[in-house]
Structure formats: structure tokens, C-alpha cells
Structure 1
């Protein structure tokens, strides 16, 4: 599993995105760096859980609604891409996609989505997390936000705490920026 985090930095007009650098399946830790963020046409999508979700999005990027301005347009694209890869299963009449995530617009707006693609907006300037390390990340982020005013530094510190203390969130600290042009940086040294 994983942890992914996001917080908008109004002073730099970027959203700081974080993740752990490995994935787990049961007690097995993946051997290579696991990227959890994907950018497309002004949106960044962060996904937790197992399965070829990012691969499905990449394979169907030509079908992305180029001028999407609302999050449900992005989720509709994701459902179609996941469907083509046969990701998800029906449970009590509801399709579930084995994983949660965060959806970021280049404006800095952040939404949380669950495994049935129900959306919840994140308060502007709020720190948020998803994945198996979510509870630890949210607790650390909320406790430290007053003491670490830099969103970039807060992201790094929260990831340090989660990776050190959550067996399901192993690996390297990966911090990326997503800017107002819709550009997702490579992981940066923090």
C-alpha cells in the first residue's frame, strides 16, 4: 500500500505532493521506486492501492477530456480507463476500484476520492493524505502545521514520520510540485 499527501502553497502557487517510494502487496515490499502521481492536462492524480491504475490512465490518455474544468470529468475518464483494464469489482451494487486517491487541479484545488469515486473537496490550504498511512500522515500534518509553516517542509517531515512508523508505507521520501501551468516535477531533494 502507500501514503500520498497534498497541500497547496499559495505563496509559491504550487501544490506540494508527497508519497513513499515503494509499494507493498501483503508483506512483500516492491523492489523499485513506485511513482504514485500522474499529471494530465492541468490535473494531477495520486493513487493508492494495488493494480495497474497509472498504466491504465497512461494507456488511455488520448481519451482525456482536454478542457476538463470539473473533477467529475476526470473521474469519468478514470472509470473508463479502469474499465478497459478490467480494474474494479461490484460490491453490493456499487463498483469499487481497490484504492483511493487525491485529485489536484493546477489552480491548487484538491479533492479526495474513495474507492467508489465519491469526491470530497479538501479545505483550501489544508493538508490531506490518502492510503494505508493516511491516519498517521493526517495526525502528523495537523499537529505540525503550526510549527512547520512551509508546506514543502511539512510534506517532507510528514513523510519521514509515516515511512519510519508505518510498515505498509515503506521506501524513499518522494516530494513533487504541481504548478499553475499543470507541470508535475520529478521528485526533488528536500
Structure 2
């Protein structure tokens, strides 16, 4: 569920003027909008609340931006930089990391070459098993060092994810998937 109107901030961050006139590319997801300009990537968390996440307030989005940087920087130190504000300046304009009052928060990252994303390598038939096995091991080692949660796992946790996906597709997915695909994705064999 959308909890706040972020149109003004999204429009500002979509404008080259936010980046000193440089071009900007926008990538939309259901929980974030990423703005790519030059060597910089800015990630805005959408003002949404779902069963599995809460980005419903500016304060909560700041907290989640800080958590994202804290959790992901150890695995990707060359990408994750910091958290920065979108500010409302004295003249009413918006600025990235300006002197005004913070109205929104962003994860600031260094942009990377998207041609090396695994999906793109796979499309070009350049994704080799010799790369995947060490990556899988690195991911497993990383997850082994994290705190374990037992309140959302196992059979009950998987059912919770499936039910949440189904609810999300009903609310937001009508323009993403046709009804047959939506039913196939959200109605796998039930776990109970």
C-alpha cells in the first residue's frame, strides 16, 4: 500500500538539474526507484507498506537506508557509499544533500558496469560455471555470519511469502502479469 506521495521528489531526482545537468536514467521497482547519473546511483525507497516491509514514513525510510548500507557495505564496499538527504531549501526547491530540511532519504552508491550483471552475461551466453560456484560459496559464507531469525522461516514462512506475493499481485500486479501468469506464479502447490 502506498502511504505518501513522493511525486515531487521523484520528479526532481529524474531531472538532469539534480545532477548538474548530466543525463539521468530511472529504474522503477515495487519498493524503490533508482536514479543513475554518471558514476552515481541514488536509491529512493518508495513510501509503501507491505506485510514484509515498512517504508511508510520518512523516518522509517531513513532507518532502512542506513540498515541497507550497514548490511551491504561489507559485501560490496566499492558500491555502497552512504545515506544522503533530499532537502527542501529556503527557496522551496529540492536539493540532494543541501542545507535545507531533509524531506527524503537516499542510499548513495557508486554505479557499476551493468554489462556484468549475471542476467546479461547469461543472455550473451557468457556466464560460466567457474564464476557461479565461487560466488555461491561467498554468498553462503556471508549468510553464515548473519544473525539467524526463526520467526519467519520454514513451512510457515514460505506460506507467508506466497500469500504476501498473492496479495501484492492482486493490488499491484494487474499491469505486470496477465491473469493466467499471475495465477501460476501465486498458486504453486500449497505447502500445507
Provide the TM-score with structure 2 as the length reference: 0.27
Select the structure with the greater relative contact order (CA < 8 A; seq sep ≥ 6): 1
User: Which structure has the larger Rg over C-alpha atoms?
Assistant: 2
